[in-house]
Structure 1
Amino acid sequence: MEKFDWRCPIRINLLLLRSVGLWPRGYGVYKRNFYLFYSIFTTITIVGGHNLSQVINIFYVYTDLEALTATIFVATTNILALIKRYFFVRNLPVLKEILKTLNTHQFHPKTLRQMKIIQTPLRRWKLAYICFSIIVYFNVAMWTLEPLLDNMIKNRRLPFQAWYPFDTRRSPNYEIAYCYQFICIWNITIANLNLDTLIFAFMMFISAQCEILCDDLRNLNNDTFGPRLIQCIKHHKEILRLAKVTNNIFNFIILGQIATSTAAIALTMFQLSLIDSLNTTALTHFAYMTGMLTEILLYCWFGNEIEVKSYMIPKAVYESQWLQQSRSVAKNLLILGCRCRKPIKITAINLFTLSLQTFIAILRSAWSYFALLSTINSK
């Protein structure tokens, strides 16, 4: 059977990460060349500069709760984008090693049946990628085009509240600041979106490997039961290692994403409560909140898939033809079944597990923060 390349489903994802300076070619890391200079320049001038202008602006509007929340709920996402870049680049060699490991024989689908099995999680990831991309790109388009849609060019309002060492209400200062924010937010968006979906892809890979292992276990036959069982045990051990390494790489990113998204949802709901009538500003805030909710849902959903698929492994062990095996083989099978009783979970530094129950808890927390802000504002 033709060799399956696990990089193929995420090829567009990796290409877009390369366009923003986050994915050097091949399995290598950064080298002293033009691409390294481009990555550093982009991070400092675009991501760093945009964040700095918004952080400084907080000190100018901290007495105005409405203006303060309007600045913070966007700035938190942008600051998180910088943190994501740091952890991603720091762990880039490990990530590329994981992709290299996934393309070894042990992780490949071995039959046409297994090829069909993994198509389902692959299609789900692609659907999630497309839907999430549409929501996010529409949201950013609304943010960047809102001043034009509201016909507010005369007021010289920028898409995002920020501080600059010049008067942005004059030409060509306004045009320069507008173009700078336009470039910054699209660069940050492409990086953020594809970093998130790459994390989803790695979680999808783990759940797909659990399905391949389940199929191998169910189809153990009497002739080669012992040797193939040893291969399954080694495969399970590698899946656990893959999940542990992936979790160690992304747990701080996941924690930061959940925390900032919860705060951003609460602040966005507060901003929506201050708008009297439906306009482009309200639509922009609603689109932003929808993007945040979708992002958290996908994190929790793909994490939940790993837990569900790993729960199926003990059942697959029981469904194998174990009754007719020798005592030594049955002993190995029993050990594997006991090790599989504890499901694989993706956590945020062991504070909480990515699951659908966590998603509900996040929604409750966001609503509590929103209620607190509304109470403070009413006083």
Structure 2
Amino acid sequence: MAPPHSAAAAAESASDLNYLLRALHWTAILRHPHSAARSPLLFRLCTITVVSIIVSFISSEIAVLWREGIADLDVFILMISIADTGFIWLFRIAHTAVCERHFHKLALQVGHDFAEFVTWDDVPVLRAQGRLVRRFLLMYIWFGITACTYYLFSPVSAEGLPFILALPFDASQPIGYAIAWLYCFIVTMHAVVMTMVLDSFNVSIIAQLRMQIMLLNRKIVSLARDMSEKLEYCSEASAYSDLRSRLEKCVLHHQAIIKNADLLEKCLGTMLLGQSISIGAAACFQMFQIATSADGLQQIGKFGCYLSTMLSELFVNCWFGDDLITESENLSLAAYDAVTSLQGCPLSIKRSLLLLMHRAQRPLCITAGGFFPLSRESFVAVLNVSYSFYAILRNFKNEEL
């Protein structure tokens, strides 16, 4: 562990993710890394309890589907959309539990994997960037809480509940209604808001990798400038020795970033593919609901909240994924500039720079199961596919009429 007053400790503090890790821990999604050494029995029991509640909710939606059939296309699509959101949340909880050890490692990557590369000059940059990311993600989470609150207070069932449910008791009575509404509240807040918190945790790790690439860019750019200054008051041998040492550290830093990016891809790839498919389907269904069955501003707002929440989940992943790709491409340009500025250096130094530049030409990215990289173009592509299926559903309903 880094000394408490070292640059590495300051960088770790600037990149702290405790505000997300605590929320994930207390909602039984991901244990806090500092609690990982303790017995996981109680945490797993809490996770099983949460999963049981969500499974019961999905079972209730399936029961409504079985009872109503496809006679009412609007109700059928609404039930399919809600069940789809519940299923993908169960999948994400299971996937997070399987990859828990890797997530713990990535959550502590700044203090562990990048500690030896951090200098005091890097700390202000990490603090400024960390504040921006944290503010953005807190706004994102509060948006989810606001949207869920609006959705919960917009009735859709005959009993005035926010969902159509098959319940073993009479929800039209005051006590039954209160229990059913609380049940809907717990499921909605856990499945939607905690999805957004888990997304925030994932994109925070992506943002940390982007910041490390940004710092590496600065160090590579400064090589040529500092080299010319050293040659003025140091011997050539001493200057080249210092340059070789700094370049070696840059290469090791780059390798550490690549290793962590590969680990993150391994953790998130399958999860993001399932989430992208689920969000694409939910967006299609909600556009259909808004266009064909929304009756008044209240229902338009209800379905609009659902649609905007689902799209924001995909957007935040694609936004930060695109930033990682862009910063990785900048690294290749920085290495190229350094190579052209250090023409008089020994061949071994130029060879190392060329190898770094060659590897940097393959930008780091997080993909959805290897099918497509998370980028702003991917976000638009998913929207286009969702709109195409919405148009098919709309034409199908028009033909029925």
TM-score (norm 2): 0.86
After TM superposition, list the pairs within 5 Å mapping 1:274-353 onto structure 2: 274-275=292-293, 278-320=296-338, 321-353=341-373
Letter of the 1:91 counterpart: C
Tell me what 1:182 maps to. Answer: 185
RMSD: 2.2
Deviation at 1:118?
A: 3.0
Deviation at 1:355?
A: 0.9
Q: C-alpha distance in 1, partners of 2:367/2:294?
A: 40
Question: Does the 8 Å contact 2:15/2:130 carry over to 1?
Answer: no
- Give secondary structure in 2 for the equivalent of 1:88: helix
| Residue of 289, 304, 308 corresponding to 1:271 | 289
* Structure 1 stretches of 4+ moved >6 Å: none
| Residue of 101, 116, 126 corresponding to 2:134 | 126
Offset from partner CA, 1:225-270 (integer Å, 9 cap, x none):
1011111111111111111110110111111111111111111111
Offset from partner CA, 1:289-341 (integer Å, 9 cap, x none):
11222221111111111110000112222333522321111111111111111
Question: Does the 8 Å contact 2:20/2:197 carry over to 1?
Answer: yes
After TM superposition, list the pairs within 5 Å mapping 1:125-164 onto structure 2: 125-147=133-155, 155-164=158-167
Letter of the 1:12 counterpart: Y
Tell me what 1:356 maps to. Answer: 376
Tell me what 1:39 maps to. Answer: 47
Structure 1: gaps (5+ residues)? none
| Structure 2 residue 394 is the aligned partner of structure 1 residue 378 | no
Q: C-alpha distance in 1, partners of 2:191/2:218?
A: 41
Deviates more, 1:106-115 or 1:160-169: 106-115
Change (3 A) 1:34 1:27: closer
| Residue of 264, 270, 278 corresponding to 1:246 | 264
- Give secondary structure in 2 for the equivalent of 1:219: helix
Question: Does the 8 Å contact 1:296/1:359 carry over to 2?
Answer: yes
Deviates more, 1:122-131 or 1:327-336: 122-131
Change (3 A) 1:239 1:106: same
| Residue of 214, 218, 225 corresponding to 2:243 | 225
Letter of the 2:353 counterpart: L
Change (3 A) 1:143 1:88: same
Question: Does the 8 Å contact 1:347/1:353 carry over to 2?
Answer: yes
Change (3 A) 1:344 1:92: same
Q: C-alpha distance in 2, partners of 1:107/1:61?
A: 59
Q: C-alpha distance in 2, partners of 1:71/1:311?
A: 44
Tell me what 2:231 maps to. Answer: none
Offset from partner CA, 1:64-108 (integer Å, 9 cap, x none):
210011112222112111110000111011111223343126356
Offset from partner CA, 1:152-182 (integer Å, 9 cap, x none):
9xx4232112222333334533322222112
Deviation at 1:41?
A: 1.7
Tell me what 1:81 maps to. Answer: 89
Q: How many residues matched?
A: 373
Q: C-alpha distance in 2, partners of 1:146/1:108?
A: 53
Structure 2: gaps (5+ residues)? 1-5, 228-238
Deviation at 1:276?
A: 5.9
Letter of the 1:368 counterpart: S
Offset from partner CA, 1:102-159 (integer Å, 9 cap, x none):
3126356734442333345424422331221122111110121123xx9x9xx42321
Question: Does the 8 Å contact 2:74/2:293 carry over to 1?
Answer: no
Question: Does the 8 Å contact 1:29/1:92 carry over to 2?
Answer: no
Question: Does the 8 Å contact 1:125/1:200 carry over to 2?
Answer: no
